[in-house]
Amino acid sequence: MILEPPPQPDDHEVALPEGVTAQLRLLETTDLHAHLLPYDYHSDNGDQPWGLARVATLIRAARAQVRNVMLFDNGDALQGTPMGDLTTGPAPEWRGPNPVIAAMNRLNYDAATLGNHEFNFGLNWLGRALGDATFPVTCANIMTPEGATPARSYLPQYLLLRRTLACDDGAEYPLTLGVIGLVPPQITTWDHAHLAGQLHVQDMIQTARRIVPQVRAAGADIVLLLAHSGIDGAHAIPMMENAAVPLAAIEGVDAIMAGHSHDIFPQPEATGNTHSQDTMEAAAVDHARGVLSGKPAVMAGAWGSHLGVLDLSLEARGGRWRISGHTAEARPVASVPGPPATRAPVLSISCDADLSRALGPAHRLTLRHMHRPIGQARARLHSYLAMARADASVAAVNAVQTRLLARALQGTAHEGLPILSATAAFKTGGRGGPNNFTDLPEGPLSLRHAADLYPFPNHLCGMILTGADLRDWLERAAICFATVRPGAPEAMLRDYSVPGHDFDVISGLTYRIDLSAAPRYDRHGAALDAAPGVGAGRIQDLCYNGLPLAADARFALATNSYRAFGAGAFTRPDDARIVHVSDTALRDDLVAEIAHTPLAAPAEHTANWRFVPLPGSSVLLDTGKGLRTDPSALDDMTADDLGLTPAGFQRLRIWL
């Protein structure tokens, strides 16, 4: 579905007197991930320190403070909670507009762009959702497939928003705000099953360099980038994912709203670019001034944890508005920022009563779905220690994937190949906060437990890989750990620049991970062979059926669509190696399996990996305090409980 651009406004009709001044406030939400109400549907707990209903209170207050205000969303709004999933599936019970779109309509957003997760349920679903929006949506770098004639953009590449400004002298004059949306080009990898042959995504930086002059020529006074992209290096790299810094540096860009990485910008206590050791790159990220590459910038966290506020002082020069000064702020809904920030919340902004009432029917339907019984679990399954040892919750998912792929390959040329399974614990704390862990009880399970165990709308894929491929897969998974230097000061176990869900565990193999060895890849999958300390790799004693894994041995690997097409630090295999892609979501397959077979971690899928012993060395792991309700979980490891961190994590010292 190609959405046609709206008619563009004419040039200014009123002359703008030289020297007139005005104040313009631009507000941002980003990465809401369908967190509309402060309710955790996975744990069945309300009054959480996030959600659009809380941000709406901040929006109303921000609008009341100044006369000229515009509100934008920076993407990843539609997917992420069970309420956001109400409109998915072949026969959804929810009949109205997507609840996220309905909420945004009610708050009178001025415009929005798309994030990568907007494509998780396919283009038809996305087109229906956007069709109910009362605000325009822009994205400049998503095009019809390569070779299509004529080449067209999926959405308007830019918007010209005409507004009348109440000026400081009491007069009113027109403003044209040019808005350009951008999304990471990796969407065709992450949602390959939905987008292959449907869309072509261009480099964000090259696209912006081409479009910004067009927006200027079309009459924009101020050019705003809605870039669903995080803060990384200042150097432009082809097809860069987190490109906010080089995007802001483009000539003609006046301000930028960033997102995607769930970070907060500016942070008053921060200095420089914490993602980079490069002096030039660090200088391009100025928290104190609220600028990226010298341009006003903001990034409002995630899940409705913050409201981004850019206050621009405007002055008329040469018949156009220009920015003469600014302030930037990420206003939290909690007095100490809640998830996904780094400290525990203390006091939250109250919810907007009008929006909360409007969301009531969708909330009640979501609860009814989440409470639907689906089956049994034979034991308690949680992810509190999934980054420190072989984990039963991961093993249980791998067991289901193995059964599913075995059935799918029956009667094919690949029947009879040994089947392995790769998955990760999707919830392991990190930026998601101290409650971001899976915890399923022994006994009856409901749909909310399946959503807790498998929160993403991936599909099952089957791949044909060799022993050498599998070793490389595990090396890429092991980059999530920091390097332990014997005799060096105690350090954190995890490298938090790598998401926890990039740590795949392959059931059916046994192996050890050597933390004293340097990782072989960076978080983007680039080889680090030239780095000091990089040798044979971190994966040792890799075996199948108790024997060393032969490099040329062939296996069928069950994994998910996100990973199969090369997401994270992983490489995409040749299409010929992908021999199965399920038509149904893996979470739905999981629910169907639990209905017939109690969820469990079979012995052959557990205890398959461990760390290489490093006598006298220890690491620190921040986990959820729910681990304290399962003290036996620590029986097979040597660990000290160091208490709770200021962020609310339980910190363990783990002896290697």
Q: Of the candidates 339, 366, 393, which is a domain's last residue?
A: 366
Top pLDDT among 3 and 67 is at 67
> Could you read off the pLDDT of 139-155 as tens digits, one per residue?
999 998 866 666 789 99
Residue 547: what pLDDT? 96
> Could you read off the pLDDT of 85-111 as tens digits, one per residue?
999 987 788 989 999 999 999 999 999
Query: Within a domain: residue 633?
Result: no
Q: Could you tell me if 541 and 557 lie in one domain?
A: yes
Residue 641 pLDDT exceeds 60: yes
State the helix-helix crossing angle for 586-596 and 392-408, rounded to 10 degrees: 90
Q: Could you tell me if 361 and 381 lie in one domain?
A: no
Q: Could you tell me if 245 and 309 lie in one domain?
A: yes
Query: Within a domain: residue 9?
Result: no
Q: Could you tell me if 276 and 350 lie in one domain?
A: yes
Band (pLDDT 50/70/90 cuts) for residue 345 is low
Query: Within a domain: residue 389?
Result: yes
Q: Could you tell me if 118 and 227 lie in one domain?
A: yes
Residue 602: what pLDDT? 84
Residue 521 pLDDT exceeds 80: yes
Q: Could you tell me if 311 and 360 lie in one domain?
A: yes
Instruction: Calculate what percentage of the chain has a pLDDT beyond 70.
Output: 92
Residue 343: what pLDDT? 53
Mean pLDDT in the chain?
Answer: 91
CA dihedral 137, 142, 145, 146 (to 10 degrees): 150
Backbone phi, psi, residue 188, to 5°: -75, -15
CA distance 389 to 648: 22
Q: Could you tell me if 239 and 358 lie in one domain?
A: yes
Q: Could you tell me if 330 and 377 lie in one domain?
A: no
Residue 1: what pLDDT? 34
CA angle 288, 432, 350 (to 5 degrees): 75
Band (pLDDT 50/70/90 cuts) for residue 276 is very low
CA distance 458 to 191: 9
- What is the extent of the structural domain holding 50? 28-366
Query: Within a domain: residue 639?
Result: no
Which residue in the block uniquely carries the two structure tokens 């924009």? 220
CA dihedral 193, 199, 203, 209 (to 10 degrees): -160
> Could you read off the pLDDT of 183-233 as tens digits, one per residue?
999 999 899 888 988 999 999 999 999 999 999 999 999 999 999 999 998
SS3 labels along 139-174: CCCEECCCCCCCCCECCCCCEEEEEEEEECCCCEEE
pTM > 0.85: yes
The residues, ordered by sequence, that sit 6+ positions from 116 with a Cβ below 8 Å of its Cβ are 75, 76, 183, 184, 186, 187, 190, 191, 228, 260
Q: Is 290 exposed, middle or buried (0-12, 13-18, 19+ CB in 10 A)?
A: buried
Top pLDDT among 535 and 472 is at 472
CA distance 548 to 539: 12
The pairing of strands 510-513 and 505-507 is unpaired
Joined together, the tokens standing for residue 28 give: 């941002």
Residue 11: what pLDDT? 45
- Classified as helix, coil or strand, 224 is strand
DSSP secondary structure letters along 444-500: EEEHHHHHHH--S--EEEEEEEEHHHHHHHHHHHGGGBPPP-TTSPPEESB-TTS-G
Domain containing residue 436: CATH number: 3.90.780.10
Residue 146: what pLDDT? 67
Q: Could you tell me if 256 and 347 lie in one domain?
A: yes
CA–CA distances in Å: residue 379 to residues 119, 393, 443, 598: 35, 10, 7, 10
Top pLDDT among 344 and 329 is at 329
Average pLDDT estimate for 409-423 = 96
Domain containing residue 263: CATH number: 3.60.21.10
Query: Strand order in 491-492's β-sheet?
Result: 491-492, 618-623, 650-655, 639-644
Name the domain count of the chain: 2
The residues, ordered by sequence, that sit 6+ positions from 74 with a Cβ below 8 Å of its Cβ are 28, 29, 30, 31, 112, 113, 115, 226, 227, 228, 257, 258, 259, 300
Q: Could you tell me if 299 and 424 lie in one domain?
A: no
Q: Do residues 96 and 379 make contact, with C-beta atoms less than 8 angstroms apart?
A: no
Query: Within a domain: residue 457?
Result: yes
Joined together, the tokens standing for residue 430 give: 């990190």
Q: Of the candidates 583, 598, 613, which is a domain's last residue?
A: 613
CA distance 165 to 173: 5
Q: Could you tell me if 247 and 338 lie in one domain?
A: yes
> What does the DSSP 8-state code read for residue 11?
S
Residue 337 pLDDT exceeds 50: no
- Cis before residue 340, ω within 30 degrees of 0? yes
- Cis before residue 266, ω within 30 degrees of 0? yes
> Could you read off the pLDDT of 453-470 as tens digits, one per residue?
999 999 999 999 999 999
Query: Within a domain: residue 638?
Result: no
Residue 328 pLDDT exceeds 50: yes
> Could you read off the pLDDT of 550-586 as tens digits, one per residue?
999 999 999 999 998 888 889 888 888 999 999 999 9
Query: Within a domain: residue 636?
Result: no
Band (pLDDT 50/70/90 cuts) for residue 15 is confident
Dihedral of alpha carbons 448, 453, 459, 460, sign: negative
Query: Within a domain: residue 652?
Result: no
Average pLDDT estimate for 594-610 = 87
Q: Could you tell me if 198 and 337 lie in one domain?
A: yes
CA distance 324 to 318: 14
Q: Of the candidates 575, 595, 613, which is a domain's last residue?
A: 613
Residue 336: what pLDDT? 57
